[in-house]
Amino acid sequence: MKILSGKKKRILVLFCAAAAAGAMLLGGCGSEKKGKLDPDNPVTVTVWHYYNGAQQTAFDSLVKEFNDTVGMEKGIFVKSTGKGDVNQLEESVMSALKKEVGSDEAPDIFSSYADTAYEIQQMGYLADLSPYLTDEEIGEYVDSYVEEGRIGKGNQLFIFPTAKSSEIFMLDKTDWETFANATGASLDALGTMEGLAETAKEYYEWTDSLTPDAENDGKAFYGRDAMANLFIIGSMQLGTEIFKVEDQQVTLQVDRDVMKHIWDTWYVPYVNGYFSSYGRFRSDDVKIGEIISYTGSTTSAMYFPDAVELEDETYPIEYIILPAPVFEGGSPYAVQQGAGMVVTGSDAQREYACTEFLKWFTQSENNIVFGCASGYLPVKKDANDKGMLDKVIEEKGLEVAPKTFDTLVAAFDTVKSSKMYTNKAFQGGTAARKVLEYDLSDKAAADRAVVEESLNAGKSLEEATAEFISDAAFDEWFTSLESKLQEAVESK
């Protein structure tokens, strides 16, 4: 063995110290930054979230498990608080960060969607989490979930993926089978927006024919939650990224042909009465017999009704879960949604403690336990698997609602077979999404109301809808949509 001289030893020590410091700064480039923790003097970490009901119960249970095990061992105590819905949580966070009179002290961790996180990061309040994670750890998470969290420049990670969701198609199997047996309608047609629109038209005409003494009283077949997703994911499927974000700057790309396609396969069926929306959520509409199918979040599946409740009749129904319809011939993009967790910037010890809890919460088994109660998808690659799901359910003795189980399995297939997508955050992103969410849906509801008045006055369906589905009507709407979106992305 070669013996180093004293001088060479000192050089080697200095070199190693410099290398260690450099590795500490690089963080996400292969090493993990650690703050000093003391089990005898635990750090209390506060978490604010918007979970409620079964979701909150599951989250609180996992927080307790962490505190009683890993947290006790390392010196971390997590205190979780629900702050109402998403909007109420955002208001509470903003008030706390700005230290407004009467506000609580800002939390160490809070649930946040990308647009809100972007705004708060621009204010300088968020911690970059990349130094606390190794490349190997980051590689365990679904790539697109991690990418969504990179809202800073370079390799900075500001949103920790904790639970995600996508979209599915829910169908009232009981009423579908009555219709399908009478008409020969096929489930295969429901895989595309074009096939869905045609099937909805057939359903309207079939239900109309059941009451020959009453004209134009056909029933709607379909509805959807989250209209913004139709525009954003539909555009991606048809070859255009509506919000193209580079270096935190957005380029608006509203393709006329894509918008016409969406108009023809959603707005036109809606105005004709083939699609509908009545209550706050489409699951509510299925419950009252307004529609028999919808596209909604995977987390909404647990709210799909077990019975249809009409004014003079209530009857039980079964369900079918299918992938969300895509545009014919389009690329297989699917919705990626769901808030992550962000950490308020403080010091290395507290930020490290926060990250340790988030890493524990997103361990595959723990994340699946949360998903079984909440309907959210786990965020690690190996956890999006039916075999892993079955294993955790058996080992933990979990009781999982059949609809939640079936939805998770269907969503796992979506994650594996689709390109998961959500647009990157940008200034004005919240305002722009609201335009997509409400502009066409509000117009469709208002126009359908006029059509119904015309039908009651004796006009045919073709006569009643003619002015609304014309090329001129589309041109007017498209011009208005472009203007509203441009105004939104330029808003401060």
- Residues 167, 171, 172, 175, Cα dihedral to 10°: 160
How confident is the model over 465-477, as a mean pLDDT?
Answer: 98
Cα distances (angstroms) measured from residue 181 to each of 175, 178, 186? 10, 5, 10
CATH 3.40.190.10 fits 34-164+337-415, yes or no: yes
Compute how many other C-beta atoms are within 10 angstroms of the C-beta atom of residue 412: 20
How confident is the model over 83-96, as a mean pLDDT?
Answer: 95
How confident is the model over 322-346, as a mean pLDDT?
Answer: 96
Residue 248: predicted pLDDT: 79
Rounded Cα distance between 382 and 364, Å, is: 7
Q: Output the CA torsion sign for 343, 365, 144, 338.
A: negative
The two domains 34-164+337-415 and 167-335+428-489 share their CATH topology (first three levels equal): yes
The total number of residues shown for the chain amounts to: 492
CA 11 to chain centre: 53
Residue 35: predicted pLDDT: 72
Residue 153: predicted pLDDT: 72
Residue 15: predicted pLDDT: 39
Contact assessment for residue 48 and residue 110, using Cβ atoms and an 8 Å cutoff: yes
CATH 3.40.50.300 fits 167-335+428-489, yes or no: no
Q: What is the pLDDT of residues 479-488, one digit of tens each?
A: 999 999 999 9
Q: Catalogue the E-assigned strands of 225-348.
A: 243-246, 249-252, 293-297, 307-309, 314-316, 319-323, 333-335, 340-343
Domain residues of the chain, as ranges? 34-164+337-415, 167-335+428-489
Nearest CA-CA partner of 157 in 250, 270, 29, 53: 29
Q: Which backbone phi and psi does 424 adopt, to 5 degrees? A: -70, 150
How large is the greatest C-alpha to C-alpha distance in the chain, in angstroms?
A: 105
**Which residues have CB under 8 Å from 282's CB, separation 6+?**
223, 224, 225, 291, 294, 295, 296
Report the run of H or E that residue 264 belongs to, with start and end.
none
Rounded Cα distance between 420 and 165, Å, is: 10
The pTM for the full model equals 0.89
Nearest CA-CA partner of 426 in 269, 232, 257: 232
- pLDDT tier for residue 399 given thresholds of 50, 70 and 90: very high
Q: What is the pLDDT of residues 136-154, one digit of tens each?
A: 999 999 999 999 999 867 7
Residue 28: predicted pLDDT: 41
Asked whether residue 42 carries a pLDDT value surpassing 90, the answer given is: yes
Using a pLDDT cut of 90, give the percent of the chain over it.
88
Nearest CA-CA partner of 363 in 97, 96, 163, 127: 163
Residue 8: predicted pLDDT: 43
How confident is the model over 32-57, as a mean pLDDT?
Answer: 91
Asked whether residue 474 carries a pLDDT value surpassing 90, the answer given is: yes
Residue 7: predicted pLDDT: 43
